Amino acid sequence: MPVLSALHGASSTVLSNLFVKLPAPHANPELSRQIIIVTGSNTGLGLETGRHLLRLGLGKLIMAVRNLDKGQQAKQDLLASTGRDEASVEVWLLDMDSYDSVKTFASRVSELPRVDGVLANAGIMTSKYSFSEGHEKTLNVNVISTFLLCLLLMPKMRESWRQTGWPCRFVIPNSALHYLAPLGELDSSPVADIIARLDDPDKADMAGRYPLSKLLVLYAVRELAGRCKASSKGLFIVNTPNPSYCISNLTRETKDGLGLRMAEKLLARTTEEGSRTLYHGLFAGEESNGQYLTNCHVQDPACHVTGQWGQQVQKIFFDELLSIVEKIQPGLSSNI
């Protein structure tokens, strides 16, 4: 990773968390009529974003979770804290570790009267290598399944825009750790077979896999937004906000470390504060399309995203990603 980029990512996180006060979420005039989906919504940032949405009057929240019992418990917590009625929240099954589950969930979404926002919050951080649907699990859950879901929902998101005039936002949380992502697994000449290299258990750099997954999300968001704009098939907005370092269950694997606990106490935003950035992504304007967001505004990502090398990797990686989702659901890339 470029040293200056890494320093910028680290320093911006510290300065943001110590000195930037994020704007409190405010109601949107359309909110009472809207349906918004939040994946990974039974805990952490997803749960707190759902709480903001309900408190401010969202018509219906779809909580997409992989454990229905835990989802129902989280639903009751939300209802109790917001005073909303049972009908305002539905709990649906979605396991991002399973392509069949993603496809079944997307088919169910297609039957909704409208969909106004999707917060694709479900993700993992692990240093342990394991397979998921034939791919390394972090890569599969954080990137492949997330964009499989996005492409499956694209017809419904565009249909909803045509009916309501409100562009659906597809929001994928990101991280300033993308500045620190190890580039060795991407850097070869010519750049090719990126996903095959990332899937190789003998070569996988799992210590840097989570930051790299967020870098790959950035590449895919930017490329998807550009290709959708060129296709002119209909408007939807995809963006990737950075909630910054905050308290969440994402780091549960390393939660017992003394250093992490101390850093969390000194620097971390609360879960509620971090969720404000995700709420913002769900209502950000067209200027956010294809963009990385920090502190509730558009921010330039790392130079290995915006530079010539990054743009080359972006196109190649996205083509590989499309090749994979085509095998999962033939014809899916035509949705772009």
What SS3 state is found at 325?
Answer: helix
Asked whether residue 84 is assigned to any structural domain, the reply reads: yes
What pLDDT is stored for residue 246 in this prediction?
86
**In this predicted structure, what is the pLDDT of residue 37?**
99
**CATH code of residue 26:** 3.40.50.720
Domain count along the chain: 1
* pLDDT attached to residue 11: 60
Amino acid at 157: M
| Helix (H) / strand (E) containing 311 | helix 308-328
Q: Domain range holding 12?
A: 3-327
How far is it, in rounded angstroms, from Cα 259 to Cα 52?
A: 31
Judge whether 333 lies within some domain.
no
Q: What's the pLDDT score for residue 270?
A: 92
Which one of the listed residues 179, 210, 279, 292 is annotated catalytic?
A: 210
Residue 247: what pLDDT? 77
For residue 281, tell me if it sits in a domain. yes
Instruction: State whether residue 98 is helix, strand or coil.
Output: coil
d(CA 322, CA 50): 30
Q: What is the pLDDT of residue 83?
A: 98
Res 267: pLDDT: 74
**Interatomic CA distance for residues 273 and 245, integer angstroms:** 10
CA atoms within 13 A on the CB side of 317: 31
Q: H/E element holding 131?
A: strand 131-132
Which member of 60, 99, 214, 245 is catalytic?
214
210 tagged catalytic: yes
Q: Tell me how far apart the alpha carbons of residues 335 and 249 are, in angstroms, rounded to a whole number.
A: 34
Cα dihedral sign for 84, 85, 88, 92? Answer: positive
Does 335 fall in a domain? no
Q: Is residue 161 part of a domain?
A: yes
Query: Residue 18's pLDDT is what?
Result: 63
**Alpha-carbon distances, residue 19 vs 11, 176, 267, 270 (angstroms):** 12, 16, 11, 14
The answer to whether residue 332 is domain-embedded is no
Each residue's pLDDT, cut to its tens digit, for the chain (336 residues) gives: 566 565 655 666 666 666 678 999 999 899 999 999 999 999 999 999 999 999 999 999 999 999 999 999 999 999 999 999 999 999 999 999 999 999 999 999 999 999 999 999 999 999 999 999 999 999 999 999 999 999 999 999 999 999 999 999 999 999 999 999 999 888 765 566 899 999 999 999 999 999 999 999 999 999 999 999 999 899 999 999 999 888 777 655 555 565 555 556 567 789 999 999 999 999 999 999 999 999 999 999 999 999 999 999 999 999 999 999 999 999 999 999
Active site residue 214: yes
pLDDT at 64: 98
